[in-house]
Amino acid sequence: MTIRHPEKIYKKSNPILKKPEWIRVKAPTSSLYKQTSDIIKKNNLITVCEEATCPNISECWQKKHATFMILGDTCTRACAFCNVKTGKPNSVDYFEPIRISNTVKELALEHVVITSVDRDDLEDGGAKHFVNVISSLRDLCPNTTIEILTPDFYKKIEAKKILLNCLPDVFNHNLETVPRLYPTIRPGSRYFVSLELLNSIKESQPMVFTKSGLMVGLGETKEEIYQVMDDLRSANVDFLTIGQYLQPTKKHAKLEKFVTPEEFDAYKTMAYAKGFLMVASSPLTRSSYHASDDFSLMKKKRQKNTLFK
């Protein structure tokens, strides 16, 4: 297995642009934020909120919402946009599922989002570990709905079969960007592999909501974003998130543009017109931002539609 290191691939130094007023957030200060942080640290868990330097961490943790990152804090890929470290991961922690379940119970989460680093070193890409986490959550937190945000499991032939043994309520896999930018932004991934993963999950389990997300501001065109929307709808993806790419360091992919709130609104309008059931589109939108509220709303809509059939 080849480990890609960002400093060896992305040699350019890209200046970090000053953020516009609409994208600035307040620093965390509340006691609820600290309570959430203390619970996560006590249970020795990793969150993507911290590892990916999410701009919404203050708001979410004050609500005791956190997105857990399983399978370690070290990724086997080096996507040009991502702030998670790259290298040789540690061995799988088989006690992690129960620690996550205990934490979710302690935080009293109604909806939990579980993501992971890419684990190309594992035969199944980590699919079995996702299933173990879901199974543990179903046992200990039966009233909590579960959303997973997975890697693409590229070249992991058995991964999809394993995942079908215990699926979540929402299956999320992010396309991240338009296909033209994959060679520079997601060099270890393949656009149509990601699409096929989303499509196959939906075909196998139609009642599971599927979801994907995009970053904008990397040099994509409006027409390319619209084409990705069409591709996702062809794969019967239900939910779409669109957010602003924020350049983590000078060694990461260059931020080409800050997309305005008005442009995000236009993307949202177009996405709904194309048939997505739920669309979140704003500068600070991230995959798990307000995920609990969004899922709760969609569940009510589905129940209402079922009653009138």
Q: Render pLDDT for 130-154 as a digit per residue (tens, 0 to 9).
A: 999 999 999 999 999 999 999 999 9
Q: Is residue 96 part of a domain?
A: yes
**What's the pLDDT tens digit per position in 4-62?**
554 444 556 888 888 999 887 666 667 777 788 788 889 898 887 776 566 666 667 66
**Is residue 22 included in any domain, yes or no?**
no
Q: List the CATH number of the domain containing 210.
A: 3.20.20.70
Report if residue 8 sits inside a domain: no
Q: Is residue 15 part of a domain?
A: no
Q: Name the residue type at position 208.
A: V
Total domains, the chain = 1
Q: What is the pLDDT of residues 201-240, one digit of tens each?
A: 999 999 999 999 999 999 999 999 999 999 999 999 999 9
Q: Is residue 3 part of a domain?
A: no
Looking at 13-17, 80-84, 154-158, 296-300, which range is the least confident one?
Answer: 296-300
pLDDT at 276: 96
Residue-range definition of the domain harbouring residue 224:
31-307
Q: Which amino acid is at 225?
A: I
Burial class (CB in 10 A: 0-12, 13-18, 19+), 84: buried
In a domain, 20, yes or no: no
77 domain-assigned: yes
pLDDT in tens, 240-266: 999 999 999 999 999 999 999 999 999
Report if residue 173 sits inside a domain: yes
